[in-house]
Chain A
Amino acid sequence: MSNQENPNKVQDIHEYLAAFDDIPGTRVFIAKRARQGYHMNQFAMSLMTSENRERFKADERAYLDEWPMTEEQKQSILDRDYNRAIDLGGNVYFLSKLFSTDGFSFAEAVSTMTDMTFPEYTQMMINGGRSPEGNRSIKENNEKAALAKVAMEDQKFAGDKKEGN
């Protein structure tokens, strides 16, 4: 079978890219983010030598100032605010060089991006991980929430009527 016969071949790049925004709690590393985060990711990459790691640890601010990053990007790194860093174009595989520099395990660093403590996160993983149920689509979640709200109001209305009787 040739590539041309792929029934799921992407026909519209705009639709392809827009669909990613519907996934809850996720930033897909598309070109827009790759461009925005270029220097932040290259900074993280530079931590792959012990010499640079030592220089960074000695004066984080001065080391960051060697890179043409935005002030917000630098602050997100200084704060180790990884959700923010990813919002500003960071990629987790690049940022992981910073996890290692700090002596954090991948899982512990990742847990800081969730609403859980590391022990809670570890326990969730041992229990089978985060379920995809309810985590597939922002649109679907909003629709479900709207329906639930309507159902609740209906119930309340029915209850009020009953009381009125």
Chain B
Amino acid sequence: MAKITAGVASSHVPLLGVASDFGKDKDDYFKPIFDGYEWTREWEKAEKPDVIILVYNDHASAFDMKVIPTFAIGCGEHYGICDEGWGPRPVPEVDGHPDLAWHIAQSLILDEFDMTIINEMNVDHGLTVPLSMMFGKPEAWPCKVVPLAVNVVTYPPPSGNRCWALGEAIKKAVESFPEDLNVQIWGTGGMSHQLQGPRAGLLNREWDNMFLDGLIGDTDKLRHIPHFEYLRETGSEGIEMVMWLIMRGALGKNTRALHRHYHIPCSNTAIGHLVLRPDNGEGYDMTNSGVADLEPAE
């Protein structure tokens, strides 16, 4: 049986991809950001996930205004890297896991989540930056990826509650896949940031940390935050955090944090990163939990 053994949340700021690609990750500006991922890089080497379900949003790269799917799952064999205006990032292309992806897609539709199925697309920084942050610069990515793209660009995006419920359905779907697979689910984007208008540059450390707190333990209060609150409190692009709720919903009732990182700023954005274990009697290794539950001092 396949199992979701961990959830990882991370911002996916494009500038982090630039810093990684051009070897600037040890600069004064970037070092405190990348240092917060060191723990996770070592941990991932030991965890050796087979597949990542990578929840992200496309930033007007694979999808333009012609077609706007609310929830879309990549069922292809292989994904190329987008040219986002400065040439494609020099990172490995991404291998899919069509068997698991099609199984999840079918299960979700039967569970009344009407998914869009993608067989061919290129992936942008929303998907590749988290891979760089967690795996560094390998020749090939160490695992397969099932891309799960969420519309958070054209309003309305899905509600937080719907995202959480989709996560719950993904957990059920993964657990009915017969092959033994170590599956992680990643929620990406966020945290507070606004990239437009006179209010650009808005950040909200207090709210972001309230949100990180709310992903840990047995509370599900985050699922009820309305879109308006994300917009008002975390800037127009903070809405990406609804994607973290898909990850959280897939971890069951209770979670424990193994690692937590928060840093301001990266370009226009607050960086947040959290590694979570499902904690419902599965018996996973909880090393480092407890220390990660609190907001880290900077």
| B-binding residues in A (CB < 8 A) | 1-3, 6-10, 16-17, 19-20, 23-31, 34, 38, 41-42, 44-45, 47-50, 53, 82-83, 86, 91-94, 96-101, 103, 105-107, 110-111, 113-115, 121, 124-126, 128-132, 135-137
Count how many pairs of residues, one from A and one from B, have CB atoms less than 8 Å apart in the complex.
176
B21 at the interface (CB under 8 A from A): no
List 18 additional A-B contacts (Cβ < 8 Å) besides A26-B196, A121-B201, A132-B207.
A2-B165, A3-B161, A25-B200, A27-B196, A42-B66, A44-B60, A48-B83, A48-B84, A82-B196, A93-B60, A103-B86, A106-B14, A113-B196, A113-B200, A115-B198, A125-B265, A128-B203, A132-B202
Q: Is the CB of A129 within 8 A of B236?
A: no
B85 at the interface (CB under 8 A from A): yes
Q: List 12 A-B contacts (CB under 8 A).
A: A3-B165, A8-B226, A16-B228, A23-B232, A24-B199, A28-B236, A45-B60, A97-B85, A106-B267, A129-B270, A132-B207, A132-B233
Interface residues of B in 175-230 (CB under 8 A from A): 192, 194-205, 207, 220, 223-228
Chain A residue nearest to B204 in the complex (CB) = A132
From A28, A99, A100, A103, B231 is in contact (CB under 8 Å) with A28
B2–chain A nearest beta-carbon distance, Å: 25
B240–chain A nearest beta-carbon distance, Å: 11
B15 at the interface (CB under 8 A from A): yes
Q: Is the CB of A50 within 8 A of B83?
A: yes
A157–chain B nearest beta-carbon distance, Å: 35
B289 at the interface (CB under 8 A from A): no
Q: Which of B139-147, B151-159, B272-280 contacts A (4 or more CB under 8 A)?
A: B151-159
From B64, B226, B233, B265, A136 is in contact (CB under 8 Å) with B233
Q: Is the CB of A41 within 8 A of B65?
A: yes
Closest 7 CB pairs of A and B: A100-B85, A129-B203, A25-B199, A25-B198, A125-B265, A6-B161, A93-B60
Q: Is the CB of A34 within 8 A of B197?
A: no
A5–chain B nearest beta-carbon distance, Å: 9
In the complex with contacts A3-B162, A10-B159, A93-B60, A26-B197 CB distance below 8 A = yes
Q: Is the CB of A129 within 8 A of B197?
A: no
Residues in A with CB closer than 8 Å to B85 are 47-48, 53, 96-101
State the CA gap A65–B77 with chains docked (Å): 39
B87 at the interface (CB under 8 A from A): yes
State the CA gap A41–B154 with chains docked (Å): 12
State the CA gap A7–B226 with chains docked (Å): 10
Chain A residue nearest to B205 in the complex (CB) = A128
Q: Is the CB of A41 within 8 A of B64?
A: yes
